[in-house]
Chains A and B, each alone.
Chain A
Amino acid sequence: MRVDVRALGACNRLAERGAEQAAGALTDLTGTDLSVEVTGASVASGEDLAEAFAGRESIGVSVGLRGGLEGEAVLAFDAGNVDALLSLLPGGASMGRSAVSEVGNIALGGFLDGWANYLGTAIDMTPPRYFEADGAAVLPDGALAGDGVFLFESRLDATTTDLDFSIYMLPDSGKFRDLVVGKTAPAAAPGAEGGAGNDGAGSTAVPYESLSTFASLAKRGSANAADNIAMMTGLDTTVDVSRLRFVPLADVPAEVGVEPHAGTVFELQGEPSGYLAILFEEESAAKVAASMLPSEPDEPLGGMAENALCELGNVMTSGFIDGWANVLGTSITHSPPEFVHDIGSAAISPLVAKLSRRQDYGFVIDAAIQTEGVQTRCDVYALPDERELARALDRLSES
């Protein structure tokens, strides 16, 4: 099957609106201002999902869908976040289950309203079923076996706390797949990107299998980058999360956050071109740099640390994109590192701005790499050009 990345953009818009409705409902319920910080859509394979959910506990509601969409939708909060959610509600923890059901129901309702508008048909929801689930059991039935699920994740920001929730939708074959897969979005539908169906939509439709292949490639790249950190610093490293997502580019800075970060950014040249940023929180940056230097630097993030981080960035980036060129059958190189040390979102904003000249949504590969012993963590953001990536992925399926 083919996935039109532009249609994925439209889906994302709907997910964003659904999340806004959820935020609005929560604001009414709690009296606390909540706003949607980030919404991302991705296509996740069963294998990836099982891995991502290992050891996680979730609480939420699931509903069956009939009518314009058939299948199942699940809204889940991380169990660790539920206390934060409940603390916002007037009845506190005693409201537990009913509050989660209520919030989940309202949020899913809002989410599906958007879809009903988009599809131009009614969607019926069965009454919500409350669940507490370990690991991948949270996912709709059949998610692990088939092609995977369409995953919509949102993060809500409250003045006092951050709340994350995810909506997983596993539609049966039918209208949804026709919509997202292979066909272009109706241009006039609300939420569709202007003219998405008209201007060479073929150039943004990619085979689902290639998307999965690229997701695996991104994962391997993260592992390579982590190995290279281990080699240079002598610290044991692990890749905590590695995901390929499709997000509104304007949301990326918020995702990086306002904490001070240090790291390196690179321009990628070739097909796909784009940018890559490796960002450490300040303290982590200083620790990693120190582990590479023969003696304690005078300044935690001065010139010596900067050189160390640039060198590290270089090998991480090589590791990360190593293999892309082989698999995609293209040539990709990267610029020398440029050191950044600033508010995280400010550091990444020029990259997002540059890419945004041609696209509103983008694939983001984000990987969180952790070191053991000396506790540090860095995030790698790869931002490839959408059209070039789609072209390369399309070629991938032909070879």
Chain B
Amino acid sequence: MSHHPSSRERAPRDGSDTPDGGRIKVGVSDLAVATGDETVTTSGLGSCVAVALVDRSTGVRGLLHAMLPNGTGTDTGIERPGKYVDTGIETLIAELEAAGASADRLEARVAGGAEMLDLTDAVGPRNVARAEQCLDAAGIPVVERAVGDGVGRTVRFMADGRLVVRAADGFERTL
């Protein structure tokens, strides 16, 4: 057998081909869009921030797990817009629109951005601040947030638009 070069790019790892009712896992510096009844999850949010956007009238949802606030002026991250809060939110909005959402109807839930370590000069709070700023600029209201403190979090973005946030100490709340 032979493996020939082709110009076809592989689809991004957004799990959009996952069958309905399944689970879509979003890794660090990653984002995913769901249009069915999948649960979109991301785990181990420390200083990283998760931004969950939903258009309730179409049910189109998306989740971003970004690591750093600003993509502009950096020399990495070309391959992964989800690495940064700003480029990640921009890309997520574009992908949601492509999947049938209307940017005017999007609402946001934000989780993570913990201040995990003194060593790493408050990257968590800066991630949250950048997310709020970008969402505000895009005219997307932040309806709920579970951010800051010194605690890691895992989130599940449900088909009905709720964001279930579980903290490292086991405390769970639904946004």
Contacts and interface: CB of A to CB of B under 8 A. Distances in A.
B116 A253 contact: no
A160 to B, nearest CB: 12
Contacts of A17: 10
A265 B119 contact: yes
B123 A121 contact: no
Given A342-B46, A351-B120, A117 B6 contact: yes
Interface in B144-159: 150-154
Interface stretch (B25-33, B56-64, B90-98, B131-139): B25-33
A116 interface: yes
Contact of B68 (A121, A338, A346, A357): A357
B102 interface: no
Chain B CB within 10 A, most for which of A122, A256, A346, A358? A346
Contacts of B9: 190
Nearest to B166: A343
Interface residues of B, number: 48
B23 A356 contact: no
Would you call the interface of chain A mostly helix, strand, loop, or mixed?
A: mixed
Contacts of B4: 116, 122
B5 A125 contact: no
Contacts of B25: 35, 157
B46 A343 contact: yes
Given A250-B29, A346-B45, A349-B152, 17 more contacts: A33-B23, A35-B13, A113-B3, A122-B2, A122-B4, A123-B3, A125-B3, A159-B23, A194-B79, A275-B119, A338-B117, A346-B44, A347-B46, A347-B152, A353-B120, A356-B76, A356-B77
Which 6 residue pairs are nearest across A and B when measured between Cβ atoms? A346-B152, A345-B44, A346-B46, A349-B46, A343-B152, A350-B47
Interface of B: 1-6, 9-10, 13, 15, 18, 22-23, 25, 27-30, 43-48, 67-68, 74-80, 83, 114, 116-120, 123-124, 150-154, 168
26 contacts: A21-B10, A33-B23, A35-B25, A37-B27, A190-B9, A194-B79, A250-B83, A251-B27, A257-B44, A265-B117, A338-B118, A340-B117, A342-B116, A343-B154, A345-B44, A345-B46, A346-B46, A349-B48, A350-B46, A350-B119, A350-B124, A351-B120, A353-B48, A353-B68, A356-B76, A360-B76
